[in-house]
Amino acid sequence: MIQIRGVHKEFAVDGAKVTALSPTDLDVRRGEFVSIIGPSGCGKSTLLRIVAGLETASGGTIAMTEARSPAQRVGFVFQEPVLLPWLTALENVRFPLDTAGVARQEAEDVASRLLRLVGLAGFENALPRTLSGGMRQRVSIARALSYDPLLLLMDEPFGALDLITRDRLNDELLAIWSETRKTVIFVTHSVEEAAYLSDRVIVMSPRPGAIRSIYEVDFPRPRGEATKLDPAFHHLMANLRRDLQ
């Protein structure tokens, strides 16, 4: 559903040209969960931000089939929750709907349903400052889903959380994904996270940022503790680690 062809990004630092991302091709199928993994400076976030329209590519094309209105076709989950601190959890989730002019009642229904989906029923009226880091990030995910985007882009969404919260949110993300059937592009620097979540893992290498290898991941779903014990899972992680060297 998304075709990336020859997308690259250069910028100038003190007159010298720096390549953040060399020409990259990537196809993502509808409903697929793709992870992009790589060390910092490999251009993985740049690629994601270009797809989101947060940065403009120096060249190349991105085609989205079955794209509806160009506005709000992608949901974006940042590394930090980036909630509006003066709005309650519910108001944060319905914020994109309110700004897009969706009727009050409809926005309210969608937002409360999504808060339930991310396990925050009962926290509708809580301000972000009263929520834990993990809960804030769940609100952020619900907000990204509120306008029902075709594509969900996640930029190291759990990178700032502790490992226990991270593991739990990984499982919840998979549950949400299997319920909503979104296409997900997930940027991470965690080998385990990439292997556990994805249908496909893309390894990128730095200087200049480029795709180094691609792994199909066909562990059965739903995944769980059994997946993490599977020798094939560890074999995959070893391969990913080797490619990251």
Binding site residues, another protein, CB under 8 A: 52-54, 71-72, 74-76, 78, 80, 82, 84-87, 95-96, 99-100, 127-129
β partners of residue 11: 18
Rounded to a whole number of angstroms, the minimum distance from the CB of residue 225 to another protein is: 34
Count CB neighbours of 67 within 10 A: 13
Residue 237: enclosing H or E segment and its boundaries?
helix 231-244
Rounded to a whole number of angstroms, the minimum distance from the CB of residue 241 to another protein is: 30
Residues 6+ apart with CB under 8 A from 103: none
Q: How far apart are CA 52 and CA 182, in angstroms?
A: 15
Closest to another protein by CB, 140 or 205: 140
Closest to another protein by CB, 92 or 205: 92
Closest to another protein by CB, 94 or 200: 94
For helices 89-99 and 104-117, the axis angle rounded to 10 degrees is 130
Closest to another protein by CB, 67 or 100: 100
Return the C-alpha torsion angle 170, 171, 175, 181, nearest 10: 30
Rounded to a whole number of angstroms, the minimum distance from the CB of residue 72 to another protein is: 6
Parallel, antiparallel or unpaired: strands 74-77 and 210-216: unpaired
Rounded to a whole number of angstroms, the minimum distance from the CB of residue 143 to another protein is: 9
Give which of 135, 156, 43, 46 is closest to 89, Cα–Cα: 135
Count CB neighbours of 71 within 10 A: 9
Closest to another protein by CB, 61 or 130: 130
Rounded to a whole number of angstroms, the minimum distance from the CB of residue 98 to another protein is: 8
Rounded to a whole number of angstroms, the minimum distance from the CB of residue 193 to another protein is: 21
Closest to another protein by CB, 79 or 213: 79
